[in-house]
Amino acid sequence: MSVYQEIERKERSYLQARAQEQAAHGYHAKIKLCGLTRECDIAQANELLVDYIGLVFAPRSKRYVSAEQAAALKAKLRPEIQAVGVFVDADPAEIVKLYAAGTIDVVQLHGHEDEIYLGHLRQALANAVCERQKLMASSKFPTCPKIFKAFSVKTEADVALAQASSADFVLLDAGAGGTGKSFDWELASRCTRPYFLAGGLDPQNVVSALSALHPYGVDVSSGIESEGLKDLDKMRAFVTGVRSAS
């Protein structure tokens, strides 16, 4: 059986399982608003009670925040919402430091990180759990953070790479995050593991995307911006659209 035949087999099985789950419990896509940089962005995310917000630690990004800025934003975030640290080929020590300090709860990798990198990072994060516990006021013992890995999807081979990743979740995107560019969503439909859909999503197309693909979650950045900053009305419209469709 070829790789693509195996993908098709898994796709049928996955879609059948998802259909059964949706019929039994209803479908609710997770929502991640990425690239937040201001306290008013956090306040809106809090009001909308999304699942995740993204803090970008890639220096070349126009949405970059320093460790100090990120800590201040995280302090304003509702505890029910998880802060995702977005990195591009970063030193694992930088990621671990931010996790141990309680600044981020989830790690998202957007570079060329391979399976060896993921393995080393996961072990380093596991070792930092106790250090994080000492800094937390809550008595709840923290678990090792989930790792999201982004994949630029141009061909079926890219989907196969995402399928094989050891990351906890994969994110299917058009390329570098936050560009606003979309990709052929037909390719995403071939992914048989839970994934986040990203790339070109906005309040106008997210409903059709969810109806067609039923991803585990959606990730948006430029689609909720005006003139390079988060647009609070677009943030609300996007979340309303997701919840109306899922």
* pLDDT reported for residue 144: 84
Domain residue extents for the chain: 28-245
Token output for 168 = 């906890």
Task: Give per-residue pLDDT as tens, 132-143.
Answer: 877 765 545 557
Amino acid 140: pLDDT: 57
Please identify which residue in the block is written with the tokens 């302090």.
75
Structure confidence by residue, pLDDT tens digits, 187-231: 999 999 999 999 889 999 999 999 999 999 999 999 999 999 999
Q: Which two tokens stand for residue 76?
A: 């304003």
Structure tokens at 172: 């299917």
**pLDDT at 10 exceeding the cut of 80:** no
pLDDT of amino acid 23: 44
Closest CA to 145 of 91, 192, 102, 198: 102
Percent of the residues in the chain that have a pLDDT greater than 70, as a whole number: 83
* pLDDT value of position 9: 54
CA distance 37 to 58: 13
Residue 170 phi, psi dihedral angles, 5° rounding: -110, 150
DSSP 117: H
CA dist 103 and 223 (Å) reads: 25
Token couple for 44 = 């809106």
Q: In the prediction, which pLDDT does 40 show?
A: 98
CA-to-CA distance for 182 and 172, rounded, in angstroms? 10
pTM of the model: 0.85
Instruction: Say what the pLDDT of residue 132 is.
Output: 83
| Per-residue model confidence as pLDDT tens digits over 84-114 | 999 999 999 999 999 999 999 999 999 999 9
pLDDT at position 100 is 93
The larger pLDDT score, comparing residue 233 to residue 134, is at 233
Other CB atoms within 10 Å distance of the CB of residue 240: 14
Asked if residue 56 has pLDDT above 50, the reply is yes
Please provide the CATH number assigned to the domain covering 28-245: 3.20.20.70
